[in-house]
A and B are shown apart, each in its own frame.
Chain A
Amino acid sequence: MIWTLALPELVLAVSGLVILAAGVIPKRDTFFPVSMACVGALLLTAVLVLGQGDGTALSGHYVSDAFSGYMKFLALAAAAVGILLSLDYNEKEGLARFEFPILMLFATLGMMVMISANDLLSLYIGLELLSLPLYVIAAFNRDSGRSAEAGLKYFVLGALASGLLLYGTTLVYGFAGTTNFDRLGEAFSALEGVSPGVVVGVVFVITGLAFKVSAVPFHMWTPDVYEGAPTPVTAFFASAPKVAAIALLARVLLGPFGDLVGQWSQVITLISLGSMILGGFAAIGQRNLKRLMAYSSIGHVGYALMGLAVGTDIGLRGLLVYMAIYVFMNLGTFAVLVSMRRQGRAVEGVDDLAGLGRTDPVTAMWMAVFMFSMAGIPPLAGFFGKLYVFLAAVQAGYWTLAVVGVLTSVVSAYYYLRIVKVMYFDAPAGSLDRAPSSLTLVMAGTGLFTVLFALWPAPMLAAAQAAAAALLG
């Protein structure tokens, strides 16, 4: 048993426990040091991930390859930034409890387990380890009815989705005789025909995972939860867990179920189409930025899934690049959202941004960068994300996907650009408070990534290429 392969996870788990113990003991408030320690633990884990070797461990339940490395790195970075986003917000909203970053840390551990899962059971364990802290932090603002409602809704629906996933796992085990990805893959490629029971199992597994990425038709919780949860939590929801769930979906579908591509490709295509269309249109009417970002994230997941529906290595590479770009521009956008306060009170309406271009040019500039990037306007990173998935869809002959993708980009460009218009052209609605330095740091970092990606796309493409190759063999 080569447990050392799972060193990053073990280190993260142990650090989480140590930080928890250290956070409980002092009488005074330990939110800030604990947050910093959590960020440190995440960074340390990221370093370990970079040095992680390839192979399987823990009786084949755990796999480490270039794909897992890429996605874990992304998830860890997103989680670390997520904690940074919460520092100032939680202090001001009275949510500065040391459990908060620790819950995020454990959720991240769950993501890593998910990403490295090589068995339906470790997949499930990772998923639950991810979900349970998320239920709690969604409802972290206990005095807010909206936050409590968000947590409860997420929990009830999430439990149902987990149930579906577990049932699907059972069916797969019952009809195929194993839950290990490698052996499932062998079973499917060896058999003449696949039992329909397995297909139903796969369908349920996809259903459970589609809920986690909030793709249509499992999207309905997203706007409510995103709006209700504290803003840094929403930022976290919209980034790291999406990466993990998409990674898992890709690994499950392209790995063991890779030979059933004909069966699931249509499902993913439909999900992708639905998500793009809904994400494009439903966001238009939103006045609340968090709700708008919820629909926007649904749309983005649709674009990313386009790469998966194609099912080729080019498609997968497009998906990987898309997710990386999405995560960074999304975190940047949320950094702006988190910083939005007027006289100490958090505001989250589109109209609250009015005239930001004059009252706070720097924040407005970053927000404009993120909005243009999300709309897919060159030369910003978002354009390349779309470019790569569209290229893949076209090359594989998925016309409907590519054309609908382009059309919905036009539609979604409308609401992203409306935000830019509100910021620069509308009369100021009173200036917003100064953004704290932790947030401007995040804005500048993600903003520079978004702007400068066009100059050096090669390293990320190469990493994505290696990751895709690792998964598809």
Chain B
Amino acid sequence: MHDAIYLLAAVLLPYLGAVVAALLPANARLLAWLAGCVALATLAMVGLGFAAIEAGGLPRFDLAWAPELGLSFSLRMDGFAGLFAFMVSGIGVLIVLYARYYMSPEDPIPRFFAFLLAFMGSMMGVVLSGNLIQLVFFWELTSLFSFLLIGYWQNVAAARNGARMALTVTAGGGLALFAGVLILGHIVGSYELDAVLASGEAIRAHPLYLPALVLILLGAMTKSAQFPFHFWLPHAMAAPTPVSAYLHSATLVKAGIFLMARLWPVLAGTDAWFNILCPVGLITLLLGAYVAIFQHDMKALLAYSTISHLGLITLLLSLNSDLAMVAAVFHTVNHATFKASLFMAAGIIDHETGTRDIRRLSGLNESMPFTARLALVAAAAMAGVPLLNGFISKEMFFSEALTVATATSVLHGILPVAATLASILAVTYSLRFIHGAFFGPPVDDLPKQPHEPPQFMRVPVEVLVFLCIVVGILPSATIGPLLDKAVRALLGDATPSYSLAVWHGFNLPLAMSLVALAGGIALYRLLYRHLNAGLEGTPLLGFLDGRRAFEQVMVFISWRFARALVRLMATDRLQIQLMLMVCTALLAATLALLPHGLAAGDVALTAVDPVVAIIWAVGGACAIAAAYQAKYHRLAALVLLGSTGLATCLTFIWFSAPDLALTQLLVEIVTTVLLLLGLRWMPRRIETAGSGAPLARLRRLRDFVIAAVSGLGLAAISYAMMTRVSPDGISREFLTRAYKEGGGTNVVNVILVDFRGFDTMGEITVLGVVALTVFALLRRFRPAPESVGVPDQQQGDARDWLLVPSVTMRLLFPVIIAVSIYLLLRGHDQPGGGFIAGLMLAVGILVQYMAGGTRWVEDHLRVLPLRWMGFGLLLAVGTGVAATVFGRPFLTSYFAYADLGPLGKLPLASAVIFDLGVFALVFGATVLILIVLAHQSVRSQRAAPPPPPVEALREPAIAGED
């Protein structure tokens, strides 16, 4: 139980400290104390946890987090995790101490410590996670906080770019890792680390092993700056030096190494593992070391050397050998100690002299002797000088390289040579670091007068250098137990016997070390002149610019590719969008039908009636012609559309649906006329679009083909549907009950006024509201004068326009009224009814508008649509209420017939009164819309020449009610 608390505290304490630090005022001393205490406490927690491991336990902490997904928040610390936790928290303490003196008071200190502590917590989360998803979670957090730390100096462009590059590469890699972990979890069936580590065989044998491996390694390689993702690391040097010292020695870049080692038992051991990692590690090792020599900035030199050492560790991990694994873990620790101290030394130099340029620095040995000694030792450890920790792990590396060189492959064979070469380069850049800065004649043109740093700023370096020496001399007594626990946690019973002694006798690895030292010194002497010439860039490899490549890739993805995609996939032109939608639907339907096809149904077909065939042919032709004319001659298109509608009406009649046909006919007429009125506000025709350019013709042809294919396709599917037996609807029930219960033989009308009387009442109410709304919207509407030409009919001299038709239409008016009343009265039993009758009467008025023009009608006719509507609505409601007066439910109908002798029988159902209400309302509403639309033509008259004096302009009746 206590162990669990230690673990939880080790992860949460830094976050807690971060929150507190962010809230505190900018007091450097206070904040440093806080951060230092937090880091120390964390270290203590790790120590306590490790003590539990020593006692043979495995500290864990589990908390149900998202139990529905089988995910729990679990922390677990074995020897390996403990080793890393020690590094993270231990070096963290030193970094805080160092930063206390390094950071200048002008910097926003609270932010710095808050980010640093949060980063530390995230790193602890990564190494202590007992669950892979959770590991990815913390992994991404480290990317995030490293981004914030690297970009800490926001006003420096290099910091911003470096931060963004680091985030893009590492967070992107993190997402790849996420995908890999998901696959891994799928193979194992659990994301718990214990379960994953227990099923190595199953993982390696699984067909998804390779994708999982590649994705996970992508994550690790981006984080650990392996070639070709190494380029972000040198650019991250724009960060404050404590950050670089922390991130690039023990923490951020080691996370990738940690992951590879953590999963080594389950993922390694295959050819794929070796073939991916070995070349990558080898190239990183050599490239980093080579480029490091030619850096003039001390931190850049250290950055490339870090890359090189990370490559070395990766190479060791790739060898699929247990001993190499031990060497890798050991070198990770060693590298952390000497690299952190070197970074801090570089920071001290930068802090005290104002520059990090090796070309400008010289002879600092005299002005800052202590620092010089410390840096000398650390650099010697980096170069692999005996009696220092770097030497021991390098020896192990050499002997591993020699062991695997016995294998037949070329890659194995060249390893010893490559290892020696890399060591020569390492000695060279270490020498350059030390000799360039500390030896030679003192210079006095530095930005600051160099002197020793404050005593406590040096303490962290001293501690680390001390560790380098102690481990180098007494390895098995110091690091031995820790390393043993770590390696056993990874390898278990397979842990090989290894020796951590300084002296193994005269053997080949020792010879290689000596060759490396001698070669390195020789190479430095050889290059001395060239290096001091102060040339920028790396000889031979100047073309390899990771940053430029990165930026080119970024530009490609973010501009060229993105733009191409937008051009391809997006348009703001409506026509194309419509076309694409139709095409997609067509394609989808085709694909759906392709496998099976769609046969016509088995309903017996009636013989083709030649008359109907002709009507259809005409209707179809009209539809096509309408589409053809739509762009160039809207009026013609509209008239043709009307004809198509007419053909449909005739078809309904032929199918013995006169009622439907009548309704359709009237709807057609009303909509056509309304559209005609709408045409007034459209430009008459688009003159320019009809160009006969080949491209335009081609485009039209394409549109035609699409339209034809879609239309035919729809027709075919509809045909297939209609030739099947139609599903049983409720129509049969209505048919049987219409006369019996509703007293009418016109089923549609009975449904409207009786069965569904309540619905109808609602509908006519809505219709009334719509008419009022249209009226309200258009009442004051005036089309922009410049968009409307004055029609010929309104030019003063066109008095005799359409004389004969207009007289005919006027004569027809009473007839239409009579027919309308006839339709209303017979509606209950035969085609007709209030709805149709109302529309019919409205058509009568409409015709008068067409024949006589707006002004004539407004002068001669006085319709009060609002009264019609009110009367209709009241009548309908009244009929319904009347039923309740007789003790029946609302809208119950009564029916009987009145015998009118020679005039025939008149149905006297109460429903007829209801129908009368419908009639009145439909008429009123339609006419209201009509009036307000028609009146527009008079309104736009403003721009026209003065009207003839005879006819005074009068507002219509309805407009008076404004």
Stretch of A27-35, A36-44, A374-382, A435-443 contacting B (4+ beta carbons < 8 Å): A374-382
A14 within 8 A of B: no
* Contact yes or no, A224 B572, CB < 8 A: yes
A217 to chain B minimum Cβ distance, whole angstroms, is 5
Is A452 positioned at the interface, with any CB of B under 8 Å from its CB? no
Q: Are B133 and A387 interface neighbours, CB within 8 A?
A: yes
Complex interface: stretch among B176-184, B405-413, B496-504, B536-544: B176-184
Whether A171 lies near B133 (C-beta < 8 A) is no
At the interface, yes or no: A391 with Cβ under 8 Å from chain B? yes
State the CA gap A167–B714 with chains docked (Å): 9
Q: Tell me the minimal C-beta distance from B471 to chain A in angstroms.
A: 36
Q: Check if A175 is an interface residue, CB within 8 A of chain B.
A: yes
A196 to B593, CA, bound (A): 6
A377–B588 touching, CB < 8 Å: no
Residues of B within 8 Å of A461, CB to CB, are 66, 68-69
A402 and B182 contact, CB distance less than 8 A: yes
Complex interface: chain B residues within 8 A of A406 (CB): 175-176, 178-179
Asked if B588 and A207 sit within 8 Å, CB to CB, the answer is: yes
A199 within 8 A of B: yes
Report B568-601 CB contacts with A as 1/0, cut-off 8 Å.
0111101011101110110011001101111000
**Binary contact track A372-409/B, C-beta < 8 Å → 1, others 0:** 10001111000110011011001100010011001101
Contacts of B557 in A (CB 8 A): 281, 284, 411, 414
Which residues in window 176-207 of A have CB below 8 A to B?
176-178, 195-197, 199-200, 202-204, 206-207
Are B558 and A285 neighbours in the complex by a CB distance under 8 Å?
yes
Expressed in whole angstroms, the minimum distance between the Cβ of A154 and any Cβ of chain B is 10
Pair B168/A414 contact, Cβ less than 8 Å: yes
Main secondary structure of the interface of A (DSSP, over half): helix
B822 within 8 Å of A by Cβ? no
A170 to B714, CA, bound (A): 12
Nearest opposing residue in chain A for B578, CB measure: A160
Q: Which partner residue on chain A sits nearest B69 by CB separation?
A: A391
Give the interface segment out of B136-144, B329-337, B813-821: B136-144
Q: Cβ of B721: which chain A residues have Cβ within 8 Å of it?
A: 170-171, 174-175, 197
- A410:B175 contact, CB within 8 angstroms: yes
Query: Separation in Å of the B230 CB from the closest CB of chain A?
Result: 19
Q: Choose, from B320-328, B415-423, B723-731, the stretch at the interface.
A: B723-731
Does A8 interact with chain B (Cβ within 8 Å)? no
Q: Is the CB of A378 within 8 A of B589?
A: no
Could you say which residues of chain B place their CB within 8 Å of the CB of A267?
A: 588
Check B186 for interface membership: any CB of A closer than 8 A: yes
Alpha-carbon separation in the docked complex, A390 to B175 (Å): 11
Q: Contact between B588 and A203 (Cβ–Cβ < 8 Å)?
A: yes
Q: Which residue of B lies closest to A174 (CB)?
A: B721
B75 near A: Cβ within 8 Å? no
- Smallest Cβ distance from B236 to chain A, in angstroms? 15
Interface size class of A (residues with CB under 8 A): 35 or more
Q: How many residues of B contact A (CB 8 A)?
A: 70
Binds B, one of A74-82, A106-114, A417-425: A417-425
Contact B581 A417 (CB under 8 A): no
Interface centre among B172, B559, B562, B574 (most CB of A within 10 A): B562
Q: Does B449 contact A (CB under 8 A)?
A: no
Within 8 A of B (CB), among A445-459: 457-458
A211 contacts chain B at the CB level, 8 A cutoff? yes
Q: Is the CB of B68 within 8 A of A200?
A: no
- Identify which of residues 52-96 in chain B touch chain A, using a CB-to-CB cut-off of 8 Å: 64-69
Tell me the complex Cα distance, A173–B727, Å: 8
> Contact at B581–A413, with CB atoms within 8 Å?
no
A211 near B722 with CB under 8 A, answer no
A411 to B557, CA, bound (A): 8
- B65, B69, B178, B593: which contacts A200 (Cβ < 8 A)? B593
CA distance A403 to B208 in the complex (A): 13
A-B contact pairs, 17 of them (CB 8 A): A153-B577, A171-B717, A174-B726, A197-B720, A202-B592, A220-B569, A220-B570, A281-B562, A282-B562, A378-B136, A387-B133, A394-B182, A394-B185, A410-B175, A415-B558, A425-B160, A458-B65
User: A interface vs B, CB < 8 Å?
Assistant: 153, 156-157, 160-161, 164, 167, 170-171, 173-178, 195-197, 199-200, 202-204, 206-207, 211, 216-221, 223-224, 263, 267, 277-278, 281-285, 317, 372, 376-379, 383-384, 387-388, 390-391, 394-395, 399, 402-403, 406-407, 409-411, 413-415, 417, 421, 424-425, 457-458, 461-462, 465
Q: Which 4 A-B pairs have the closest CB atoms?
A: A177-B727, A174-B721, A284-B562, A406-B179
Residues of B with Cβ closer than 8 Å to A? 64-69, 133, 136-138, 140-141, 143-144, 151, 154, 160, 164, 167-168, 171-172, 175-176, 178-179, 182-183, 185-186, 211, 554, 557-559, 561-563, 565-566, 569-572, 574, 576-578, 580-582, 584-585, 588-589, 592-593, 595-598, 714, 717, 720-722, 724, 726-728
